[in-house]
Amino acid sequence: MGLKARKTNMFLDIQQYVYQSLKANKELSKDLQIFSQIPKDTPFPYLYLGKFIVINRSLKELIKMYFVNEIHLYSQDHSTEEILNWVSEIKNTLQLRNISLGKCHINEIEFLQMNLDIMSDAKTHRVIGKFRIIVEENYGSTKRIFDAA
């Protein structure tokens, strides 16, 4: 398998892991709808996976890759405290180390930043959080820690 195909497989495995981890968190999923893509006319509050960017594109051999994943949270009629509690749950859910995902291995997921804004309608809160994901190709076990949906 070529480098481009391996990167694509890693990307899909990591994206699926992040999505399923957030969905599995009962504290988040009881209050928030969680999406990888937002359906039209989705009611608030909801969370979705935003940009997923490969940071290190210059590797000739796939040894270690860096990804940045954005997570967007939108809410109306919730306090800033409630929103920050959701952000804390997101951080706790994703700040994991040493996760084997098929042909790749997540060494670390690190919280980078969070922006909390009030939109122009003066009632919608928007949070954009960014996480860095450090991944290596897995030369050992190919055991998956999640079931493919």
Which pLDDT score is estimated for 46? Answer: 96
Band of pLDDT at residue 13, cut at 50, 70 and 90: confident
Token pair 């060494």 is found at 107
Show me where the domains of the chain are located: 3-137
| Cβ-based neighbour number of residue 54 at 10 Å | 14
Q: How far apart are CA 58 and CA 48, in angstroms?
A: 29
Q: Which fold has domain 3-137?
A: STM4215-like (3.30.2000)
Provide the 8-state DSSP code for 13.
Answer: H
Band of pLDDT at residue 41, cut at 50, 70 and 90: very high
pTM score, whole prediction? 0.78
111 pLDDT above the threshold of 80: yes
The two three-digit tokens of residue 56, written as one number: 């290190």
Mean pLDDT of the chain, nearest integer: 81
Q: How far apart are CA 109 and CA 98, in angstroms?
A: 9
Q: What is the mean pLDDT of residues 76-81?
A: 89
Q: What is the mean pLDDT of residues 4-32?
A: 83
57 pLDDT above the threshold of 80: no
For 51, list phi and psi in degrees, rounded to 5.
-55, 145
Token pair 């997570």 is found at 71
Burial 58-76 (b: 16+ CB within 10 A, else e): eeeebeebebbbebbbbbe
